[in-house]
Structure 1
Amino acid sequence: MAVVWVMFGALIVAARDRKRLAEIGGVATRFGLDSLLARLGLGGGGGGEAAEPLSRRTRLALEALGPTFVKLGQILSTRSDLLPPDWIAELEQLQSAAPTLDFEILRPAVEAALGGRPEDVFAEFEVMPLAAASIAQVHRATLQSGAQVVVKIRRPGIRPQMEADLRLIGELVRTAERSSAEVRRYRPQELVRQLTEAVLAELDFTAEGRNAERFAANFAKRPAVVIPAIYWDFTSETVLVQDYLDGVAPTEARALIEAGLSPRDLAEVGAKAVLDMILVHGLFHADPHPGNLRAMPGGRLGLLDFGMVGQVSPRRRTELVGFVQSLVSGDAQRMGEILATWTEGADVSTERITQGAERLIGRHGQGEIDLPAIVADMMALMRQERVAAPPDLVLILKALVTIEGVLSRVDPDFDLVSAMSGAWKSALFAGASPDAVRDRLIGLLLDLSALRDDLPRLVRAASKRLTSPEAEPPRDLATAAAVRSAGMWIAGGLVLASLILGGVIWLTASAV
C-alpha cells in the first residue's frame, strides 16, 4: 500500500473520497504501476520489473477501477499524438461492456423514475436485458400505443462513484503538473476537461435525449438517416425511452444481402451523413462504431447512442477541408500552415513543421489516400515533437477514421477522403440560408456604419505600421499565415466597405 500513502502525501483529499483513493492505490499496487506513477511525478518507484508490459498492466488496472477509468482509457486510446502504437493498441481493447444486473436490483430506481411499475406503465416490458454497459442497461418494451421502444436504465449508485473519480483524477493531474515539466507540456488539464464533459453527459440521459433531437432536426430532410424518437413522458436523468430501430449492423455482409440492401448505397448514405455532420451541421456523432449503426429497410441508416457527441467550429471546419485539399493537391506549404495552427502555442520550430508537412505529402499525397495511415503519421509527428493536438480535432479525426473503417467494410471500394475533397462547397456554404445571409449582411452593414468615421485613420495607422523599418517579420508559419490572411481580408474588406458605403451615400442622396 506504499502507493496509497505517496498519493496521500501529494494530495489534500476530502474525507468522502479517501476510501475511493485507497481503492485506486490498492489497484495501482496490485498491477505494479509504481514506475508509471513515478514517471508522472506521483511518487512510486521501485518494485522491479513485472512480467507483463506496462501498457497491458495499465489497461487491466483501468478495467478494474471501473467506468470512469475505462472512459479515461478510451479517450487516451484516441491520443496517438501522446502515446506510442503499442499503448494505443492495448487501450483500444477497453470496452464498456459489463455483466448484466438482475432487473430486481434496478426496479426501485426505475419505478421512482417512471412513477409506477414498468409492467403497468408499458403494455409489455422485458425484464431480460437486451444489452449491458458499464453505465447503463437496456431493456425492450412496448408502449400502450403499440410503439416498440428500448428503455435505457442507469446503474444504481454509479453517479457518486464517477463524480468522486473525476475529483481524484483532477487532483492527480494537478499534482503531476506541479511535479513534472514534461507532463505540463502535454496540457493534461484539457484531457481531464474532455473526460469530465464526456462522463457527465453520459450520466444524464436527458442530455442524450436532447442530442438525439438535435440530430433529428438536422436530418429532418434526409429520410435515409433515421434518428430514434425520444419519449419524454418516460425519460429522466436515469431512464431514457426511445424508438427501437429494427435493423442489422452494417458490417454484417450476409445479413445485408439477405435483407436486400445495397452495400454501396448504404456506404454513400453513411458518408453523406458524416460529412454533413462535420462540414455542415457542426455537430457529429463521436462514436460511430458498428454497434451504434443500423442498416434498415429501404436503404436507410439508423444512428444510436448520442451520449457522446462533438462540435466543429467554422474555423476547424475550414482547416479540415484545407488539410484534405492540400494533401490531394500536394501543397506542402498550405499543409504546413495548417499544422502550425494545430500546434499553436507549442514550442515547435517552423522548419520542423514544414519538414513534417513535406514528409506527409511525400508519403500520402500521391494516388489513393489512406485516411487512417495519414492520421497515424500526423499524430506520430506531433508525438515526435512532443506536442498535444487540440482535443476537439482529435475527436473529429477519431470519428472520421472510425466511420471510414466501418464504411470500407461495408463497401471495399469506398473512399472517404475523395468524398471529403469534393465537399468543400458544403463547408463553404454551411448555414447559408437566405435568412442567415440576410442577418450576416445586416450585421456587416451595422459594423461598417460604426467603422465609417474611424476607417481613414485606421488605414493610415495600419499602412504606417506595416511599412515601418522597425516592423519585425513573422517568426513562424502560423503567424505568417495569419498576417497574410489578415492582409487579404483587410484589403478585400476595404474595397467592400468602400462599395457599400458609396452605395449607401448614393441611395441617401437619391432619396433626398
Structure 2
Amino acid sequence: MGQYQPAQLKRYNPEAIARYYRYRPWLALGRFFQISWSFAKFIFDLKWDEWQNQVEENRGKRATQLRTLLTRLGPTFIKVGQALSTRPDLIRKDFLDELIKLQDQLPPFDNAIAYQIIETDLDRSISEIFSELSPTPVAAASLGQVYRGRLLTGEEVALKVQRPHLRPVITLDLYLMRWAAGWLAPWLPLNLGHDLTLIVDEFGNKLFEEIDYINEGRNAEKFANNFRNDPQVKVPSIYWRFTSNRVLTLEWINGFKLTDTQSIRQAGLDPEAIIRIGVTSGLQQLLEYGFFHADPHPGNLFAMPDGRMAYIDFGMMDQLEESTKESLVDAIVHLVNKDYTDLATDFVNLGFLTPDTNICPIIPALETVLGNAIGQNVGDFNFKTITDQFSELMYEYPFRVPAKFALIIRSLVTQEGIALSLNRNFKIVEVSHPYVARRLLTGESPQLRRRLLNVLFKDGKFQWERLENLIAIARTDENFDVLPTAQMGLQYLLSDEGKFLRRQLVLALTEDDRLHTQEVQRLWLLVKDDIKPDRLLSVAISLLTDLSKEGAAAILPKAASFSFFGDDKSRQ
C-alpha cells in the first residue's frame, strides 16, 4: 500500500487512507483550514445569537446558513447534509427541516473534460459509440452529470459521467472527518449510542459504493430482477459495453417527474394510481426483497406515459437481513394493533434501543407519539411528523437510529413527500396496511406464517377481532383474493407445520366453556360476498385432490372435535 494513490482506491478503506495522508500532512492542511474556518464562523454566529439573546429570532437564518455552508464545501459535505437530514437523534428539529431541503444540484463541469473521461474509460471515441449526444448535460448533481444520447445501433440512452478527481476529494474529506470524529466524540452531547467513527465509516462505505458505476449497474439489474413480474414497475436496462467505474450507459426513460402533476394529468394518467405503485413497491422492497432504493427523490422516479412508474439512479441501495425484515413486519403489525409494549420490544430488536433498556417508561411515550397514526391523512399525521416527534423523544429516552435505518427513514420520508405533492389528502395507511395484511394472510414463508400466529394469539388466547380486522383491511387491497388465501390456510392447517394452529383453533372455538359460533359467523359474513359457489366447489375439489392420506389422517381426529357444530345447529 506504500504506492497507494487516493484515485486508485476502489473500496472505502479508512486504514489505507489514513496511512497515505499521515505521511503527507501538507496535502490535508489547506482543506483542514477551509473546513475549520467555515464551521468556526458558523459556531461563532450561533454563540453570538446567544450573547445577543437572538437565538429564537435567528433560528431559521442559522439553519439556512448551515445548508449553504455544506453546499459550498462540496460533494462530500452535501452528502453529509442529506444523511443528517434523516437523523433526528443527531440534529435538532429546526436544522433538520432545513437540511431536508438540501439540494445536490451543482453547476456542470466542462464538456471537454466529460468527453475525455468517456473516451478514456471506454477506450474509444465518442463518434464510435454515439450517433447523437446532447451538447450539454441534461442534469448535473454533486457526484456527476447526465447526457442524453443515441447509440450507433439506434437505442436512446442516458450517459452518466462522474465528476473529475472525485475520489481524491472524497478520501481527503473522509480522512479529516474520521480524524475529527476521534477527537470530538467524547465532547459532543449527542445520543450516538456507539463510536462516532463507526458512523463516518458507514457513510464512507455508502459514498464509495455510490461513486462506483459498475456497482450501480449491478444494483439496477438486481432491482430489475426483483420486479421482473411486476408490470407496473420499470427499471432501465444497462449497456455494459459502454459502462465503467466512472461512466454508466443505461436506457433512456421517457416520462414525467412525479412532482410534475400537470404533465402527468395531461398524459391521461391518475397521479394517485402512480402514488399507489410507489408506496406498494416501496413496501415490497423493504418487506419482501430486503433490497431497497435509499434515494427515491423526485428526480429519480418517473411516471411513464403507459402508466408504469420508473426508478432510475441505483447508486444508493441497501440490503436488509431476513431478521430485520421480520422485525419490521412485527413493528407494523403491533402499530396497527396498538400494542405499544410489543412495539417497544420491536425497537430493541431493530437496534433503536439497547437490550438493557428499561422499556416501561418508554411505552406511554410511544403511545403518545404513535397513538393517532392509524387512519389519519398523510398530510395530518405522517412519517415526517413521527420523525419530528421522535426527535423530542431522542433527548428524553435512550433512542438511537442505526445507520441502516437512517437510509430507510430517508426513503420513507422522501416517498411520502412525493405523495403529498401529488395529493395532499392521500392516505398512506390505506395502501400500506392492506398490503401488510395481505402479506400476512397469504403467508408465503414460514417466517410470515409465524408472524401471523403472533398477531392472532396474545397471551395464549386467539384474537378473533384481529383476524376480522386483518381480513377487512386486506380486502381493500385489489390484489387480495380471499378464496386462494383460505385454500392456502387450509393446506397449512393440514400440514405438519400447522399442528400447533390446529390445536389452538380447537381451543379457541371452545375457550371460556362456550362455542364461539358468533365469531365464526361474523367472519363468514365478512367474506361470503367474495366467495361464489362455483369457485368454492372448484377449490374444494382441488383441496380434496391435493389432500394426501397423511394429511387426512392428521386432520380426521380433529374433525371429530368439530362434529358438535352440526349437533349445535340442530339444537338451535
Question: For the superposition of Structure 1 and Structure 2, which TM-score range results when normalised by the shorter chain?
Answer: 0.7 to 0.9
Q: Does 1:173 align with 2:173?
A: no
User: Which of 123, 136, 142 is the matching residue for 1:128?
Assistant: 136
Structure 2 counterpart of 1:254, which letter?
Q
Instruction: Note the C-alpha offset of 1:66.
Output: 1.0
Instruction: Return the alpha-carbon distance in structure 2 between the equivalents of residues 214 and 429 of structure 1.
Output: 27
Asked whether the equivalents of residues 177 and 184 of structure 1 are also in contact (C-alpha less than 8 Å), the reply is no
Q: Does 1:317 align with 2:329?
A: no
Asked whether the equivalents of residues 74 and 92 of structure 1 are also in contact (C-alpha less than 8 Å), the reply is yes
User: Which of 270, 278, 283 is the matching residue for 2:286?
Assistant: 278
Structure 1 counterpart of 2:80, which letter?
L
Q: Does 1:400 align with 2:408?
A: no
Asked whether the equivalents of residues 209 and 240 of structure 1 are also in contact (C-alpha less than 8 Å), the reply is yes
Instruction: Return the alpha-carbon distance in structure 2 between the equivalents of residues 182 and 168 of structure 1.
Output: 20
Q: Normalising by the residue count of structure 1, what TM-score does the alignment of the two structures yield?
A: 0.75
Instruction: Return the alpha-carbon distance in structure 1 between the equivalents of residues 201 and 239 of structure 2.
Output: 31
Instruction: Return the alpha-carbon distance in structure 2 between the equivalents of residues 327 and 296 of structure 1.
Output: 34
Q: Report which stretch shifted further, 415-424 or 180-189.
A: 180-189
Instruction: Return the alpha-carbon distance in structure 1 between the equivalents of residues 48 and 416 of structure 2.
Output: 44
What's the counterpart of residue 95 of structure 1?
Answer: 103
Instruction: Return the alpha-carbon distance in structure 1 between the equivalents of residues 375 and 229 of structure 2.
Output: 37
What's the counterpart of residue 250 of structure 2?
Answer: 242
Asked whether the equivalents of residues 328 and 366 of structure 1 are also in contact (C-alpha less than 8 Å), the reply is no
Instruction: Note the C-alpha offset of 1:29.
Output: 1.9
Instruction: Return the alpha-carbon distance in structure 2 between the equivalents of residues 275 and 23 of structure 1.
Output: 42
What's the counterpart of residue 387 of structure 1?
Answer: 399
Counterparts of 1:281-360 in structure 2 under 5 Å? 281-341=289-349, 342-345=351-354, 348-360=357-369
Which runs of 5 or more residues in structure 1 are unaligned?
1-10, 40-44, 438-491, 497-502, 504-512
Instruction: Return the alpha-carbon distance in structure 2 between the equivalents of residues 221 and 394 of structure 1.
Output: 29
Instruction: Note the C-alpha offset of 1:162.
Output: 0.6
Distance 1:175 1:297, change over 3 A: same
Q: Report which stretch shifted further, 14-23 or 75-84.
A: 14-23
What's the counterpart of residue 237 of structure 2?
Answer: 229
Question: Deviating runs (4+, > 6 A) in structure 1?
Answer: 45-52
Instruction: Note the C-alpha offset of 1:418.
Output: 3.2
- Tell me the alpha carbon deviations over residues 138-158 of structure 1, each in whole angstroms, 9 at most, x when there is no partner: 111101111100110111111
Task: Name the SS for the 2:256 alignment partner.
Answer: coil
Instruction: Note the C-alpha offset of 1:170.
Output: 1.2
Q: Report which stretch shifted further, 190-199 or 377-386.
A: 377-386
Distance 1:21 1:186, change over 3 A: farther
- Number of equivalenced pairs: 428
Instruction: Return the alpha-carbon distance in structure 2 between the equivalents of residues 311 and 36 of structure 1.
Output: 41
Counterparts of 1:1-400 in structure 2 under 5 Å? 14-16=22-24, 18-30=26-38, 32-33=40-41, 35=43, 54-179=62-187, 185=193, 187-341=195-349, 342-345=351-354, 348-365=357-374, 367-368=376-377, 370-372=381-383, 373-400=385-412
Structure 2 counterpart of 1:399, which letter?
S
Asked whether the equivalents of residues 177 and 183 of structure 1 are also in contact (C-alpha less than 8 Å), the reply is no
Distance 1:340 1:127, change over 3 A: same
Instruction: Return the alpha-carbon distance in structure 2 between the equivalents of residues 291 and 224 of structure 1.
Output: 19
Task: Name the SS for the 1:423 alignment partner.
Answer: helix
Instruction: Return the alpha-carbon distance in structure 1 between the equivalents of residues 113 and 51 of structure 2.
Output: 42
Distance 1:59 1:245, change over 3 A: same
Task: Name the SS for the 1:237 alignment partner.
Answer: coil
Instruction: Return the alpha-carbon distance in structure 1 between the equivalents of residues 400 and 163 of structure 2.
Output: 34
Q: Report which stretch shifted further, 85-94 or 236-245.
A: 85-94
Distance 1:312 1:36, change over 3 A: farther
Structure 2 counterpart of 1:255, which letter?
S
Asked whether the equivalents of residues 286 and 395 of structure 1 are also in contact (C-alpha less than 8 Å), the reply is yes
Task: Name the SS for the 1:146 alignment partner.
Answer: coil
- Tell me the alpha carbon deviations over residues 374-405 of structure 1, each in whole angstroms, 9 at most, x when there is no partner: 23323431243253211222321221221122
Instruction: Return the alpha-carbon distance in structure 2 between the equivalents of residues 267 and 98 of structure 1.
Output: 29
Structure 1 counterpart of 2:364, which letter?
Q
Work out which structure has the larger RCO, using CA pairs closer than 8 Å and 6 or more positions apart in sequence: 1
Instruction: Return the alpha-carbon distance in structure 2 between the equivalents of residues 293 and 92 of structure 1.
Output: 18
- Tell me the alpha carbon deviations over residues 332-388 of structure 1, each in whole angstroms, 9 at most, x when there is no partner: 222222234333327743232222222224443575562222233234312432532
- Bigger radius of gyration among the two: 2
Q: Normalising by the residue count of structure 2, what TM-score does the alignment of the two structures yield?
A: 0.67
For the aligned residue pairs, the C-alpha RMSD in angstroms reads: 3.5
